[in-house]
Amino acid sequence: MAVVDLRSDTVTRPSAEMRRAMADADVGDDVYGEDPTVRKLEERVATLLGTEAALWVPTGTMANQIALKAHVRPGDEIIIGKDAHCWRHESGALAALAGAQTQTMADYRFTAADVRAAYKSSDDPYLSPTRVVAVENTHNMAGGICWDKAQLAEVTHAAHALGMVTHLDGARLWNAAAASGSTELELAAGFDSISVCLSKGLGAPAGSLVASTREVIRRCHRLRKMHGGGMRQVGILAAAGLYALEHNRARLGEDHANAHALAVALVNAKNLTVDLTNVHTNIVMIDIVKGTADAVIGVAREDGILLGSAGPHRVRAVTHLDVGRDGVMRAAKVIADIAATLA
């Protein structure tokens, strides 16, 4: 029986059509700014997000890190939500490469009042001046939850009123848009820089972009080179990104419906809990009440169901374009059966 891989939406493989678009891509040396396909993708993403410019980078990590580094000086502080990817899952890059410290809010999503309470000015030499507010939408470790458009506006206004800049980790902004009914343009409004990924739900093999003003992108361009991300005939990958934006964005709702079906199928299962109200997009967090996440993941693997761990008692399942409804329902049965046997 075919393996159902729900570890992440990064596991998708490029389709035959995407590979054809890659093979046919018109390319040039992107370090010289001469790759026409990269330039087309950068213009397309800048238009979608309503920014002056955008820059292709190989990974979401590099997109976040160079954007944040472009905003801070060593010793500055960045406000982030609980378990933000740029802090938890980027190998300490904020400390190592940007030289910034973080102040983590109590929750994944936070309010304008939280921002005002956390802010520290640069007037006091004892304090680390708070320069940036970074938001993650959708929020990965919170299970792909979306921010409300009004809450985003309040937070970005509060940050700007205090002279701070705002960054959006929009690795899955496409999912947030598909789930909330707001456009990417609306969800990006109010942010001084935005990172987006093409290699998650959109199914491209690699590629992310930073979108911002021409001035910030100019700084990011230099930082990309400094971080070793200046690549040459990378239009081959940008072509996959263009294909993904055109063909795979509109179908994200299917992944969300599959995640919802998985969650519903598990709601009454024994020895685990799933909070349906937090299943907004393509991620389902399954809390194992008895036993460990690793035990469930290990047995599920033997049954051809691959799952991720999001903590000692938390299993993460992510739907994507390479898994259909049948696979998701098979996964639900396997997970429920395993959980039922836990002592």
Ligand X SMILES: Cc1ncc(COP(=O)(O)O)c(C=O)c1O
Site for ligand X, rule CB under 6 A:
59-61, 64, 85, 136, 140, 169, 171, 197, 199, 208
Nearest approach, Cβ of 318 to ligand X (angstroms)? 9
Nearest approach, Cβ of 256 to ligand X (angstroms)? 16
Q: With respect to ligand X, which residue has the nearer C-beta, 35 or 169? A: 169
Rounded-to-integer distance, Cα 141 and Cα 283, Å: 9
What contacts 12, CB < 8 A, 6 or more positions away? 203, 320, 321, 322
Q: With respect to ligand X, which residue has the nearer C-beta, 7 or 120? A: 7
Q: 255: burial class by Cβ within 10 Å (0-12, 13-18, 19+)?
A: buried
Nearest approach, Cβ of 341 to ligand X (angstroms)? 31
**Max Cα separation, the chain?**
64
Q: With respect to ligand X, which residue has the nearer C-beta, 64 or 180? A: 64
Q: With respect to ligand X, which residue has the nearer C-beta, 47 or 91? A: 91
Residue nearest to ligand X (CB): 60
Nearest approach, Cβ of 231 to ligand X (angstroms)? 14
Nearest approach, Cβ of 144 to ligand X (angstroms)? 9
Rounded-to-integer distance, Cα 121 and Cα 286, Å: 41
Instruction: Please give the structure tokens belonging to residue 44.
Output: 């397309």
Nearest approach, Cβ of 271 to ligand X (angstroms)? 28
Q: With respect to ligand X, which residue has the nearer C-beta, 87 or 119? A: 87
CA 75 to chain centre: 26
Nearest approach, Cβ of 159 to ligand X (angstroms)? 19
What contacts 68, CB < 8 A, 6 or more positions away? 78, 86, 94, 98, 100, 132, 134, 167
What contacts 287, CB < 8 A, 6 or more positions away? 272, 273, 274, 313, 314, 315
Q: Is the peptide bond before 138 cis (omega within 30 degrees of 0)?
A: yes
> Do residues 318 and 8 touch, judged by C-beta distance below 8 A?
yes
Q: With respect to ligand X, which residue has the nearer C-beta, 207 or 235? A: 207
Determine the 3-state secondary structure of 38 from DSSP.
helix
Nearest approach, Cβ of 24 to ligand X (angstroms)? 25
Phi, psi dihedral angles at 176 (to 5 degrees): -60, -40
Q: With respect to ligand X, which residue has the nearer C-beta, 199 or 248? A: 199
Q: Give the number of C-alpha atoms closer than 13 A to the C-alpha of residue 200, restricted to the C-beta side.
A: 26
Q: With respect to ligand X, which residue has the nearer C-beta, 66 or 323? A: 66
